[in-house]
Amino acid sequence: MKRRWPLQRLKRLLIGLVVLGALGFLAVLGYAFWPTHTRAIAAPASAADAALIERGRYLALAGDCTACHTAPGGKPFAGGLALASPIGAIYSTNITPDRRTGIGGYSLDQFDRALRHGIRADGASLYPAMPFPSYARLTDEDVRALYAYFLHGVVPVAQADRSPDIPWPLSMRWPLALWRKTFAPSPDAVAFDPKRYPDERVARGAYLVQGAGHCGSCHTPRALTLQERALDESGAQYLAGNQIIDGWNAINLRGNPADGLGRWSEQDIVETLRTGRNPHAAVVGSPMADVTVHSMQHLADADLHAIAAYLKTLPPVPGAGPGFAANDATAKALQAGINDSRGAELYVDNCAGCHRTDAKGYSRVFPAIAGNPTVLAREPDSLVRLILGGSSMPATVAAPSALGMPGFGWRLGDAEVAALASYLRSQWGNQAPPVASGLVARIRAEMPGENHASEEAAHAR
């Protein structure tokens, strides 16, 4: 017969566990609320210096600050843009120099703590939607320039910040301090060491990509705890792509020949950053199009080449992935009128007129499908969105024509879109997995209403 624990012993055990839990919680709470000390930086001789303000303006363009801090139809840098998060919408803040609702009352150190360390003027932690882990790489000189620009080169706007649409208790700020102290660079870390790179041009590109450009925020996969898996090339997943941003897949920027930039030249990368297109590919989807329009097209030619030179130093992502080995078998079959699958029929009916039967498209007008990184991405979300809803290239100063592709969601059902996408990913030498109709249905449901209403018609055909 088993002996039963005396009731008194059980009570003592439960009390002990409660006490240990309480002590553990207090320790975590203490760690979260323990002040973070950051190094003070020297103020410029004059924050209103014209050259310093201009340098800050250029850095703000390189960082595409307007993308998050300017709402559609809103005043520049006045905030209010909704940013999706797993727990609810976060709204960007007013970073104009208005003293009551913006950052006009910020000291240089308060500005620095927010920019590079994710700490508000009141000591609370910022949501990591603000890419302060990347901005931590900025030099003191560039922080001073940005401060001068936002305090003296931006028009003040009186617009109060909007509270996040995050329910309590998830809206509590103190857990953000745990994330920041665990995953963001230490306040004592060296901002950026150019000596790590083989020459000055590559170092400059690395600085722009890792710091102001914060390219990793979109193009580096994240862990379950939402931190980027690497903040520079020391991690094999840095800029490896496959994050879904606003429904679009951020592509692999490393040297993979199929779903990356391995077959792109430095000039291809420069042209894409400046104009949103190159002889064989194009920017599609709103996030990168916005970066092209509001940021990259305004950078100096030397900086664009520096970015491209740095990206070309990144080796392929380890492990097997999509492949590409050009062949003309598909083109010959289509040219001979052999449409031996539903995917082939759909391609001839809907795509070949612009992208041609050889899938090479027309230079800088209709992108090639053969070997296209968007088509070959490990996650085919962008390709499915393009087929369903279409898109257009960004209009830039160097390439003002916003050439567009129509959507076919109104006429193609989920199974047909999946068949077409799978065909695109498996012909002309493309070697990527097929697309499931369930994925198409999910993406269609996330898109504007015309795609829903037309689904019945598509099935009825």
> Is pLDDT above 50 for 178?
yes
In the prediction, which pLDDT does 199 show? 95
Statement to judge: residues 275 and 385 lie in one domain: no
* Residue 56 and residue 84 in one domain: yes
What distance lies between CA 95 and its chain's CA centroid? 21
Tens digits of residue pLDDT in 296-315: 999 999 999 999 999 999 99
Is pLDDT above 90 for 193? yes
Alpha-helical runs (H) found in 317-397: 329-335, 342-350, 352-355, 373-376, 381-389
Give the bridge partners for 404, in sequence order. Answer: 392
C-beta separation of 247 from 446 below 8 A: yes
In whole angstroms, give the CA distance from residue 303 to residue 105. 33
User: How big is the chain by its Cα radius of gyration, in Å?
Assistant: 25
Residue 220: is it exposed, middle or buried by C-beta count within 10 angstroms (0-12/13-18/19+)?
Answer: buried
Full 3-state SS string of 41-63? CCCCCCCCCHHHHHHHHHHHHHC
Q: Is residue 16 part of a domain?
A: no
Please determine, for residue 453, whether its predicted confidence score (pLDDT) is greater than 50.
no
Q: Which helix (H) or strand (E) holds 423?
A: helix 414-424
Residues 258 and 323 sit within 8 Å (Cβ to Cβ): yes
Q: Are residues 369 and 420 in the same domain?
A: yes
Is a pLDDT exceeding 90 seen at residue 168?
no
Do 227 and 103 share a structural domain?
A: no
Distance from C-alpha of 419 to C-alpha of 446, rounded to nearest angstrom: 20
Distance CA 424, CA 311 (A): 27
290 with 346, same domain: the answer is no
* Same domain? 232 vs 335: no
Residues 299, 331, single domain; the answer is no
Q: Do both 65 and 152 map to the same domain? A: yes
Residue 35 within a domain: no
CATH code, 58: 1.10.760.10
264-305 pLDDT, tens digit each: 999 999 999 999 999 989 998 778 999 999 999 999 999 999
Map residue 91 onto helix, strand or coil: strand
The reported pLDDT for the residue numbered 113 is 96
CA distance 444 to 99: 44
pLDDT class for 419, splitting at 50, 70, 90?
A: very high
- Confidence band of 3 (pLDDT split at 50, 70, 90): low
Cα–Cα distance for residue pair 198/256, rounded to 1 Å: 22
Residue 203 sits in which domain range?
Answer: 194-311
Which residues are paired to 89 by β-bridges? 165
User: Which stretch of 41-45, 67-71, 73-77 has the lowest confidence by average pLDDT?
Assistant: 41-45
Shared-domain flag, residues 91 and 115: yes
Residue 362 in tokens: 């027309």
> Nearest 5°: phi and psi at 119?
-120, 125
Q: What is the pTM of this model?
A: 0.91
For residue 181, CA distances in Å to 46, 115, 176, 212 come to: 33, 15, 9, 21
3-state secondary structure of 23: helix
Q: CA–CA separation, 109 vs 118, rounded Å? A: 12
Surface-to-core class of residue 71, CB atoms within 10 Å of its CB (0-12 exposed, 13-18 middle, 19+ buried): middle
**Count of the separate structural domains present in the chain:** 3
Residue where a domain stops, chosen among 311, 338, 371: 311
Contact predicate 259/322, CB 8 Å: yes
Domain assignment of residue 332, yes or no:
yes
Among 183, 215, 234, the domain boundary falls at 183
d(CA 130, CA 151): 19
Q: Distance between CA 267 and CA 253 in Å, rounded?
A: 15
449 with 336, same domain?
yes
Q: What DSSP string describes 258-292? A: TTSSTT--HHHHHHHHHHSB-SS-B--SHHHHHHH
Look at residue 40 and tell me if it is in a domain. no
Q: Are residues 205 and 329 in the same domain?
A: no
